[in-house]
Amino acid sequence: MNKKLKISIIIFFIIFVVDQVVKYGFANLGWDLDGPIMSLKLAYNYGVAFSMFSFLAENLKYIQLVIVIVGTIYLFKNKELFYKYYIPIAFLYAGGLSNILDRFTYGAVVDYFYWHYIFEFAIFNFADVIINCAVAIIIIIQIIDSRREKREKTDL
């Protein structure tokens, strides 16, 4: 098995398991905690970011699974893309599939980070943070590649 594939599988499992254990604690063990800046409070999100599309709550898990399957097929056909972005892809799959599992297990995504200092922000979870980190990594890689290409063109 390719080294990058092994690394991505390990990253996936670590993030996925940590996220599910934490969500289990909030959903079943009452891990809520109030703080002056941020609180840890159980909330269920029936939609996606900022509860958008919550009217699709019952079907959202199937729509998201189809998106993951289509993305996986695309990556199988474009393996060079996977090997270039294997770390953020592992992050995306771990966070995304963990949130999808929540929909099957709890009927909604388990959220618990609640920022309320100066302004109130949406409640989110570790998987959401990981997904955003993956997007940031992809953007950074794209910027680095773009700058390198510009440098190579000017050097010619």
**Residues 134-149: tens digit of each pLDDT:** 999 999 999 999 999 9
Strand partners of residue 124 = 113
The answer on pLDDT for 156 being more than 70 is no
Q: What pairing do the DSSP bridges indicate for beta strands 109-115 and 38-45?
A: antiparallel
Report pTM. 0.90
**Nearest-angstrom CA–CA distance, 104 and 108:** 7
pLDDT digits (tens, 9 = 90+) for 7-51: 999 999 999 999 999 999 999 999 999 999 999 999 999 988 766
Whose tokens are 């997904």? That residue is: 131
Helix (H) or strand (E) holding 114: strand 109-115
Q: Name the active-site residue from 34, 102, 111, 145.
A: 111
Q: Name the active-site residue from 19, 102, 128, 145.
A: 128
Question: Which residues in 81-109 are b (16+ Cβ under 10 Å) and which e?
Answer: ebeebbbbbbbbbbbbbbbbbbbeeeebb
Residues 6+ positions from 110 with CB-CB distance below 8 Å: 23, 26, 27, 42, 43, 44, 102, 125
The answer on pLDDT for 107 being more than 70 is yes
Residue 16 CB neighbours (<10 A): 20
Cα dist. 83→30, 67, 80 in Å? 40, 20, 5
The answer on pLDDT for 1 being more than 70 is no
The answer on pLDDT for 87 being more than 70 is yes
Amino acid making up residue 18: V
**What is the model's pLDDT at position 49?**
75
Q: Is 128 annotated as catalytic?
A: yes
